[in-house]
Every structure is written in C-alpha cells, then in structure tokens.
C-alpha cells in the first residue's frame, strides 16, 4: 500500500508546480483505484464497461481538478480520488441501467453492493487463516459458508468489510470516506466480523440439527 509519507512528499512537490509529481501521485494510486472500481461493477455493467477505462477517465478528471484539491488539501488524497471514481460509477449506472436518480444513488452508494467476483474474493480473504494445505477442503467449505452468511448481513456490515478487506483502505481512510470517527470504524468492523461469525455458527448448527 502507498505510504502516507510518500504521498505527502509528492503533494508538497505538486504544490510547487511539479507536474512529474502530479503524474506520479496519480500513477501510484491507480492500482488501488482499479481494485475499487472492479469490485463495484456488477454483471449489468461488466459487459459494457471496462474498469481500466473507468480509471483512465477518473485520472483525466483528477488531473484537471487537482489544482483545486491542492489549494484546499483538507481531504486524504486517495479518498478524494476515490470519490471522483465513485461519482463516475454513479454516472455510468445512470447512463447504462437507466434507473431513476434515487435508485441509482442508493445502488451506487455501494453500501454492501459488490460484484459476484468481489463477493468470492471477500469470502476468500475472510475465511483464510494460518492453516496449511491439509485444511484446504475445510477452507473451501468455510468460504461457501461466508458467502451464504454475507447475504444476511446488513448493507452497512458488508460495506465496512468491503472497504477494509477488498479495497484495503486504512481505518483513517474509511473514517473519512464514511464521515465517522476512527473509533467508530473499528467498532463497526469488529461488530460486522462478529455478526458474520454468528451467522456462520448458526448455519453450522442448523446443518447438524
């Protein structure tokens, strides 16, 4: 993950008019941004929209708007960049799905909304432990239980798990993204994990009954 100190150095250079610093800033955050975009595009858009094209559009937009950001600079750079991508996804849903604005914003608020591949990836990450190859079958079974349990989580629970484990945002970045405190992020994440485990345990109990 991009170190915050590196970003701050590049931002300082960018404020002096160093265009190479701007380009490096955008380039260094491209992989994270693509991961975010890819995780949020569902099957209705996947056949029409390439995440790399979305990211390229975002980079062009960010380069055009970066002077305004540098003038204020009161937002974490990646959170600012991610918001541009978020807004772009809303526009794409509106253009391609042709839903009314309210439903698009609700759907693309992305609270718990993930692509099928992203659900699998998140389930994989949450089911992985320190176990060795001998337990791969058990891990595969657990992954399926995680997928089933996630369907019963609230949107907020799925979102906090996606931000932390799929997008790999830091606690500080999540706090700024959701406009909550860092302690609230930690609490929400812990509760989401606890609810997920409880749902898995409940399902296991039902299977044994």
Q: What is the mean pLDDT of each run of 10 residues along the chain (209 residues)?
A: 78 94 95 91 79 95 95 91 93 72 48 66 68 59 81 90 91 96 97 91 66
Q: 4-108 adopts what CATH topology?
A: Rna Polymerase Sigma Factor; Chain: A (1.10.1740)
116-208: in CATH 1.10.10.10: yes
- Give the ranges where 41-100 is alpha helix by DSSP (H): 43-46, 51-72, 77-97
The pTM assigned to this predicted structure is: 0.81
Choose among 156, 46, 26, 62: nearest CA to 97: 46
Q: What per-residue confidence (pLDDT) applies to 96?
A: 76
Q: Per-domain residue ranges for the chain?
A: 4-108, 116-208
Choose among 160, 154, 155: nearest CA to 177: 160
Reading the block at residue 76, the tokens are 């974490």
């Amino acid at each position: 993950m991009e170190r915050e100190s590196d970003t701050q150095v590049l931002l300082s250079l960018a404020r002096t008019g160093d265009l190479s610093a701007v380009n490096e800033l955008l380039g260094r955050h491209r992989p994270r941004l693509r991961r975010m975009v890819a995780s949020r595009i569902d099957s209705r858009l996947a056949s029409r929209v390439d995440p790399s094209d979305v990211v390229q559009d975002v980079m062009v937009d960010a380069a055009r708007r970066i002077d305004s950001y540098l003038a204020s600079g009161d937002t974490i750079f990646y959170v600012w960049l991610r918001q541009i991508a978020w807004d772009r996804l809303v526009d794409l849903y509106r253009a391609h799905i042709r839903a009314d604005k309210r439903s698009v914003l609700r759907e693309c608020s992305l609270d718990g909304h993930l692509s099928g591949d992203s659900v699998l990836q998140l389930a994989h990450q949450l089911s992985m432990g320190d176990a060795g190859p001998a337990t791969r079958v058990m891990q595969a079974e657990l992954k399926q239980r995680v997928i089933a349990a996630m369907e019963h989580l609230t949107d907020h629970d799925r979102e906090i798990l996606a931000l932390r484990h799929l997008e790999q945002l830091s606690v500080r970045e999540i706090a700024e993204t959701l406009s909550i405190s860092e302690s609230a992020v930690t609490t929400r994440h812990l509760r989401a994990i606890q609810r997920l485990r409880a749902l898995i345990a409940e399902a296991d109990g039902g299977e044994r009954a």
